[in-house]
Structure 1
Amino acid sequence: MQMEAVREAIANAARAVVLPSGAGRLTCTGYTPDSITAPHFFVAEYTVTYDKAFGRACDEAELTCRVLVARSDDQTAQRTLDKLLSGSGPASLKAALVAARGGPGEEALDGHADDVHLERVQSVRWYEHQGTTYVGAELIVTVIGDGRD
């Protein structure tokens, strides 16, 4: 499992969300950006557990992703964030990642992993990024894949 490809594939999956009218378009990157165009989703830190199966057959990565929404007004920003964190719907990051799992027997993340799963949302709060304050959250994503790749 190549982490560069996994990170980019997660960002690509997140691009599928459709925000409500007036909320803008979600921009997405596989890496923590220097500056963002909000609303913005990015893959930040990650950990990898190697050798979950004999012969390097399986590694497991836990990625911390963040989504940040500009605070044009506090309630509107939080409502947009709520839609992004919803379990379903056109703006749901959960639904976008479920779609990136592929069908039965297919590889996940455009062939870069065996499975991907949004485990949980945490730390819904105000974030500062490059001197600007946003409302946001962390999304914990688990990816499993072949360690021999």
Structure 2
Amino acid sequence: MDMSAVRAAIADAARAVVLPAGIARLTATGYVPDAVTPPCFFTADYTIDFDKAMGRALDEVELTCQVLVGIADDRAAQRTLDSLLAGSGPSSLKAAIEAARGAPGDYALGGLAHDLHVMRVQGYRWYEHQGTTYLGAELVVKIIGEG
């Protein structure tokens, strides 16, 4: 798998979320940004388990993504983050990312991977990025594809 292309495709899929009125559009990027414009989604670190099938036929990736929101109003920040972390709905990152799986029988991410699944949310807490504090969380995405 071309991880740079996979990361960019995950960010493209995340941009499909629709946030409630009055909340800025989600910024999404396939790399860790120098500066954050909240709300912001980005792909971060990943692990690869090579050779899950013989002959380099399958690798398995766990991609950790982060979502950060501004904290001008702590309750509003938590409501925004909760909507992004929901399992379904127009603001759900899980739903937006998993929509990139394609139709049954199709490859995910426009052919970049065999399949993907948003496995879990973790690390719901305060994050510091370039000296600024944000409320955020991590999403772990499992991706399988050719080695």
TM-score, normalised via structure 2 length: 0.99
CA offset at residue 23 of structure 1?
A: 1.1
1:1-149 residue pairs with structure 2 within 5 A? 1-147=1-147
- Partner-residue secondary structure (3-state), 2:101: coil
Runs of 4+ in 1 over 3 A off after TM superposition: none
Distance 1:41 1:94 in 2: 12
Deviations 1:87-139 (A, max 9, x none): 11100001001201111110101111000110000010010100111000000
Distance 2:12 2:84 in 1: 15
Deviations 1:57-111 (A, max 9, x none): 1001111100000012000000000000001110000100120111111010111
Instruction: Tell me the matched-pair count.
Output: 147
Distance 1:75 1:66 in 2: 20
RMSD (Å) for aligned C-alpha atoms = 0.5
In structure 2, stretches of 5+ residues that fail to align are none
In structure 1, stretches of 5+ residues that fail to align are none
Identity %: 67
Distance 2:72 2:95 in 1: 26
Residue identity opposite 1:39 in structure 2: P
